[in-house]
Amino acid sequence: MVENRVSVSYEPFKEIVIMERTCFSTPEKLARFVSIIAGGKLAGLYWVDGMVFLYFPLLASSQIVAKELIEKGKLYWSFIGYSIMPKYAPTIETKEKMIIPIVDMSSDQVLQTIAGWLKEQE
């Protein structure tokens, strides 16, 4: 009988490079932005430690980006939009009556670091 053993390891990102960032004055304005860029499709926001945000990772489809990710643990985000939102709420409703879901990601250590960095940018 052949025994298959799978090894599992955890290797977090070492660096996230944010190429463009936009601070929205209110969570509602960020939600409006999300509803526009989603083009009517369901899209959501992330909430961590008083910050609500949406990010777009640069896809690792090019050899250069894939190499940075695999060899250096470096991830590139082409854009992050964010706003201060002291208290978590499961949704935001825009003035156009679009309801945008918000996911509480407070348990994610990487996103906690991102939220802390965003607070420092203000």
pLDDT of the residue at 117? 97
Question: Cα dist. 112→53, 61, 73, 81 in Å?
Answer: 12, 27, 18, 16
* Mean predicted lDDT score pLDDT of the chain: 90
pLDDT of the residue at 40? 60
Q: Read off the pLDDT band of 114 (50, 70, 90).
A: very high
Residue 86 belongs to domain spanning? 15-120
Integer Cα distance of 77 and 16 in angstroms: 7
Integer Cα distance of 4 and 81 in angstroms: 44
Domain membership of residue 66 (yes or no) is yes
Cα within 13 Å of Cα(3), Cβ side: 2
Per the structure, the count of domains in the chain is 1
Domain membership of residue 39 (yes or no) is yes
